[in-house]
Structure 1
Amino acid sequence: MADSLNTITVNGVTYNYDEYMASQNATKKDVNADYISKDTFLKLLVTQMQYQDPLDPMDNGEYLSQLAQFSALEQMTEVADKMENVHSLVENIDTSVLVGQLTNMIGKTVQWATTDSDGNVTVHEGTAKSVSISDGAPSLMVETEIKDASGNTTKAITKVDISTITRVGDGDISE
């Protein structure tokens, strides 16, 4: 009966606990070998209680220790979930504040710099027209004037990453 305490039953098949965990870890290389899920823990505890010798039951201290471990695991899981929710909320607040600040730039002249593959920096200038959010990252939509080879000017909208903005101001800010 002592060996039955080290077993786990999955889909009606009973496995040796160590062999089962080894097979699970072999298929999930990114899972730590010492980690078991709370569902697995509960199944092990129920299996232990189900197959214990009625003449020699499990020690109450051991049972309470396992329940305390499960309770701690459950609380840590809950805290981790809530921390993830708080992190998400803070990111949303940061994005909202940033969008609010970016909307104050609408109608103003902005300068931004780009670097080509050779390391050459080019400074661009245009008028901020709107704020765009793509994949959770805000950017500024800027209207620029483009001159072609014959000297004709056309207007175009350019999506500007806010990390590249170097100056913001009313009127011409070119030096």
Structure 2
Amino acid sequence: MAISGISATDFLSGTTQAANQNMDKSAFMKLLVSQLQNQDPMSPVANEDFVAQLATFSSLEQLEGLNQNVVAMIALNQSNALLSQLTQSSALIGKEVTWQELDSEATHTGTVESVKIVDGLAVLRIDGQDVPLATVTEVLGLTQDPA
């Protein structure tokens, strides 16, 4: 009979975490303090071991800081991507475009009235209808007003 690893389920989010997940700095400090309090007085922790543990703790703090910076950078990149998509799509306002429906091969042509972002994707308002930018197959140019 095979025995699977131990895991814990977070009931609020429904996520599962492995039991051997990396320690955070508070758990590391508790372990270090407990080790110092319960060391054998006849053979205390060597200075080299203590310095190595402190260096590990310092590395852990630096990695946490780096992780926070990476998360912030990812959020900034996502924001920039949305802004770029909106800016580039806005160049289509007033232009005539052709698009293909998602559920059929029918194509339509119309004039882009506005652009918005919906669920992270550019959506064009064409002749009163919302059309995903990804379905546009051709940009025909500016609409000609009959004068």
Partner of 2:123: 139
Larger Rg: 1
1:5-24 superposed matches below 5 A: none
Is the CA contact 2:99–2:108 (under 8 Å) kept in the aligned structure 1? yes
- Two-structure CA RMSD over aligned residues (Å): 2.0
Q: How many residues align?
A: 132
Quote the Cα distance in structure 1 between the aligned partners of 2:105 and 2:19.
47
Is the CA contact 2:98–2:109 (under 8 Å) kept in the aligned structure 1? yes
1:48-59 superposed matches below 5 A: 48-59=35-46
Shift of 1:138: 2.4
Quote the Cα distance in structure 1 between the aligned partners of 2:78 and 2:112.
24
Identity %: 33
Matched letter for residue 88 of structure 1: A
Quote the Cα distance in structure 2 between the aligned partners of 1:34 and 1:96.
37
Shift of 1:109: 1.0
Partner of 1:123: 107
Q: Secondary structure at the match of 1:47?
A: helix
Q: Paired residue for 1:31, among 18, 31, 36?
A: 18
Matched letter for residue 23 of structure 2: I
Partner of 1:170: 142
Shift of 1:32: 5.8
**TM-score w.r.t. length of structure 1:** 0.66
Q: Paired residue for 1:89, among 76, 82, 100?
A: 76
Partner of 1:100: 87
Matched letter for residue 136 of structure 1: G
Quote the Cα distance in structure 2 between the aligned partners of 1:162 and 1:58.
65
Deviations 1:88-111 (A, max 9, x none): 112212221221111111111111
1:27–1:96 distance in 2 versus 1, CA, 3 Å: same
Structure 2 residues not aligned, in runs of 5+ = 1-5, 10-15
Deviations 1:56-108 (A, max 9, x none): 32111111111111111221221121112112112212221221111111111
Partner of 2:131: 160
Matched letter for residue 53 of structure 1: D
Deviations 1:29-77 (A, max 9, x none): 4336252222211110111112223443211111111111111122122
**TM-score w.r.t. length of structure 2:** 0.78
